[in-house]
Amino acid sequence: MNSLTIVAIAIVVLVAGYALYGRWLAKTWGIDPKAKTPAYTHEDGEDYIPTPKAVVFSHQFSSIAGAGPVTGPIIAAMFGWLPVLLWLLIGGIFFGAVQDFTALYASVKNEGKSMGVLIEKYIGKTGRKLFLLFSWLFTLLVIAAFTDMVAGTFNGFTVTGAKSSPNAAAASISMLFILGAVVFGLFTKYVKPNQKVEFVAGLVLLLVMLAVGIAFPLYFTKNTWIAVVMVYLFLASVMPMWLMMQPRDYLSTFLLVGMIIGAVLGVFVAHPAMNLPAFSGFNVGGKSLFPTLFITIACGAVSGFHSLVSSGTSSKTVS
């Protein structure tokens, strides 16, 4: 099948799922768009902050659109493109979106409380303890895996000791990106520009950081970058949302959305043929379709981590 047809079908199905099933869920739950959210009733200037829709969207989107949604389907494609497409659409609409939406709404309805507090309220203390223990262990694994991956990507030297300019440039851009996010957070906090000025300023800042990062690469070893990433994680966890997390994710969305638009336009212009078979079988290379498909495609369809984002941070900023 032509890739253009696949992309077109996916776009239509996802838009229909959002417009029809999403609205049905909102109506069924009795969501009142005029109700005061915790961002207003518990506003503290740090975690509870009334935030524009575009910024809330960028935070939610950037927090969950990591490497998993890209690498997972690539690995699962060993079974063919059809099982991957079906699980992305069915899982994303009827499982992942519902989970994230439910977690967000439940938290908003309960004063922006996190998932652990909600579990204790509706299930019990034992359930809360088990959930928090699992979340803690899961977070440790994620931090360890992504710290190693990022440090390896930023490593300015090859195994032979030669300099790696692409890696060093990526590291430099990322460090400038973090500093730029803080500056952008201060700008939006105290200058309070309108959304058009904010958009233009963010785009210009992003382009400047890309240009400067490429021109001045940072050559550090992997171990050095591990230490830098750990310091960054600590600082990001204690800073107010408006200073680091929100502006970082807002700026990240420019890159994410830009790449998605570029990829879709590329398919529409070139419409390359799909060389993969639609279905390769239930057992490929010693791996079974179940559960491999659902393990590899987690973030792309349904992932428990996404509910932590919805109930942990997004629910406190929805205005």
Condensed to tens digits (0 to 9), the pLDDT of residues 298-319 reads 888 888 888 889 999 999 999 8
Partner residues linked to 163 by β-bridges: 157
For residue 120, what are the contacts with CB-CB under 8 A and spacing of at least 6?
A: 127, 128
Condensed to tens digits (0 to 9), the pLDDT of residues 195-221 reads 899 999 999 999 999 999 999 999 999
For residue 91, how far is the Cα from the chain centroid?
17
Q: What integer pLDDT is reported at residue 252 of this predicted model?
A: 92
Query: How is residue 285 annotated by DSSP?
Result: T
Condensed to tens digits (0 to 9), the pLDDT of residues 83-125 reads 999 999 999 999 999 999 999 999 999 999 999 999 999 999 9
Neighbours of 21 (CB within 10 A): 15
Contact by Cβ (8 Å): 300, 69? yes
pLDDT of 1 > 80? The answer is no
For helices 125-154 and 222-238, the axis angle rounded to 10 degrees is 140
Q: What is the mean pLDDT of residues 9-27?
A: 96
pTM: 0.88
Which is nearest to 77 in space by CA: 301, 289, 299, 298? 289
d(C-alpha 285, C-alpha 240), whole Å? 48
